[in-house]
Structure 1
Amino acid sequence: MKILALSTAEPGCSLAVTDNDQLVCETYWHSRLTHSRRLLSMAGDLFPDQAGCEISDVDAFVAAKGPGSFTGLRIGISAVLGLSTALSRPAAGVSSLDGIACRFSQVDVPVCAMMDARRGQVYCAVFRFEHGRLKEKTDDTVCSPKQAISMVSGKDAVFAGSGARVYETKIQETFKGRARMAPPFMDAVSAAALAWAARTTPDFFQNPANTLVPDYLRSEGADAPRGFA
């Protein structure tokens, strides 16, 4: 199954094409351009040269459905729904936090994915993987950094995402320096990780829970700064 996945949940825009378990190509672009201006250019670069196929050959579409930028999410979801309708292919949504945490599916400690939600809050979920597969995940939530850190049980954990980067000092103080911080280049939501999450979940595209609708986690009141979407 060929999947085109994308994330517009954050300032960076990520697109990836996978073919079953194989990553075919992936691109990431962080600039002052809006997502609406970047998406077409990035897709044009992928198809057909980098992907080795036409976009009409894609079997399914996946998008980050939130949390994240309200405007950014709407742009990405609208693009995927448009492609899905035009090509009569299934489309589904994956949590933006999965697009961070699934990069660490081989670790043997809890993974706390935290995105900066501004207002002194983070979007957060804690994941546990076993033999490369998701075993357990808390509900996505928006909360204070202190509350997010308290969700992690045990003495060791991986912290990743823009929120973990912003509150790294607080995390290390709580874990007395034992927290494993993801490298900065692995903090962003990865389109390839979104595709992997969909690919490894049985009957993913048939499950109504994965319907592609935005999941903002909080009411729209303070979207990202100018240029974010």
Structure 2
Amino acid sequence: MFVLGIETATPVASVAVVTIGKVMAERTVNNQRTHSVNLLPMIRDTLADAGINKEQLTGIAVSSGPGSFTGLRIGMSTARTLAQVLRLPLVGVPTLDALSYPLSGLAGLVCPILNARKNEVYTALYHHNGIEQNCLIPARAAGIPQLLELLASYTEQVTFIGDGVAEYGDSLKAQMGKRARLAPNCATFPRGAAVAELGLVLMQEGATSDPLTLLPQYVRESEAEIKWRERCLTGECKRN
């Protein structure tokens, strides 16, 4: 099996090709260019690095959110189009699952935090038993005070991972003391290889999605949706 993994939920784009037990190739860029510019050339070059062509792929996995609304739409639309054109199985992999996954060989609690703006993070909580990860708190958008409340009932150390660590890590350590551990910068963003590996497992289990209906999981409303709802509450949307 050769699975293509596409990760565009954050400002960093990452693409990988994996097979059972092996990462064949991976490319990651954080060059401030939009994912719409980077993604297709990255897919082409990653396939070349892996020494295969697109016809040899057996499946596509794509990060499904939460994360950047625009980034998720670009990655999802690209993955859906490729899956339809190449007639390949497609799976959506939760972004926070992929972010936490590289630490699943450790034992303990892992809490991914991705910057969601508006003083919030996209977060979840996982328990790692040294072999696999299990989700204890599902993905949501939360402020740091709300996150601390969610974690208050757990006595174990918590490893925080994601781009929210740079902004909120010091605050979390100040509040939680030695119970808070911060992952290094190299673990800041979810990887295409993690998306691909998790996608491969899902495909082996038969958990594929219809390319026509798979949608990003945004967790919260977009700014446009919030403004539209506010306008409707005041009656403006009926007048236009």
TM-score, normalising length: structure 2: 0.86
- Match for residue 9 of structure 1? 9
Alpha-carbon distance in structure 1 between the residues aligned to 2:18 and 2:98 = 14
- Match for residue 221 of structure 2? 219
Alpha-carbon distance in structure 1 between the residues aligned to 2:220 and 2:134 = 27
Q: Does 1:88 align with 2:84?
A: no
**How far 1:207 sits from its partner (Å)?**
6.8
Alpha-carbon distance in structure 2 between the residues aligned to 1:8 and 1:67 = 11
- Secondary structure of the residue aligned to 2:108 is coil
Q: What code does the residue aligned with 1:186 have?
A: A
Alpha-carbon distance in structure 2 between the residues aligned to 1:20 and 1:154 = 36
Alpha-carbon distance in structure 1 between the residues aligned to 2:224 and 2:31 = 21
Sequence identity (%) = 29
**How far 1:170 sits from its partner (Å)?**
1.3
CA contact (8 A) 1:109 1:128 kept: yes
Sort the Cα spacing of 1:155 and 1:58 in 2 relative to 1 into closer, same or farther, 3 A. Answer: same
Alpha-carbon distance in structure 2 between the residues aligned to 1:126 and 1:96 = 13
Q: Does 1:46 align with 2:38?
A: no
Sort the Cα spacing of 1:98 and 1:170 in 2 relative to 1 into closer, same or farther, 3 A. Answer: same
Alpha-carbon distance in structure 2 between the residues aligned to 1:114 and 1:67 = 11
**How far 1:165 sits from its partner (Å)?**
2.3
Sort the Cα spacing of 1:199 and 1:207 in 2 relative to 1 into closer, same or farther, 3 A. Answer: same
CA contact (8 A) 1:47 1:54 kept: yes
The 5 Å alignment of 1:147-226 reads 147-152=146-151, 153-201=154-202, 203=205, 205-206=207-208, 212-221=214-223
CA contact (8 A) 1:9 1:72 kept: yes
- Secondary structure of the residue aligned to 1:147 is helix
Alpha-carbon distance in structure 2 between the residues aligned to 1:53 and 1:181 = 37
Alpha-carbon distance in structure 1 between the residues aligned to 2:127 and 2:197 = 16
Q: Does 1:125 align with 2:127?
A: no
Alpha-carbon distance in structure 1 between the residues aligned to 2:206 and 2:84 = 18
Sort the Cα spacing of 1:73 and 1:207 in 2 relative to 1 into closer, same or farther, 3 A. Answer: closer
Sort the Cα spacing of 1:137 and 1:52 in 2 relative to 1 into closer, same or farther, 3 A. Answer: farther
What is the count of residue pairs matched by the alignment? 220
- Match for residue 101 of structure 1? 100
Alpha-carbon distance in structure 2 between the residues aligned to 1:138 and 1:207 = 24
Alpha-carbon distance in structure 2 between the residues aligned to 1:115 and 1:70 = 13
Gaps of 5+ in 1: 224-229
**How far 1:136 sits from its partner (Å)?**
3.5
CA contact (8 A) 1:156 1:175 kept: no
**Residues 48-76 of structure 1, C-alpha deviation per residue, up to 9 Å, x if partnerless?**
2x111101111110111111111111100
Higher mean C-alpha deviation, range 17-26 or range 197-206: 197-206
Alpha-carbon distance in structure 1 between the residues aligned to 2:224 and 2:68 = 9
Please provide the CA RMSD for this pair.
1.9
Gaps of 5+ in 2: 226-240
TM-score, normalising length: structure 1: 0.90
CA contact (8 A) 2:15 2:26 kept: yes
CA contact (8 A) 1:155 1:175 kept: no
**Residues 12-64 of structure 1, C-alpha deviation per residue, up to 9 Å, x if partnerless?**
1000100112110111000121101101221221222x111101111110111
Q: Which has the higher helix share?
A: 2
Alpha-carbon distance in structure 2 between the residues aligned to 1:132 and 1:150 = 28
Alpha-carbon distance in structure 1 between the residues aligned to 2:209 and 2:58 = 17
- Secondary structure of the residue aligned to 1:139 is strand
- Match for residue 237 of structure 2? none
CA contact (8 A) 2:159 2:180 kept: yes
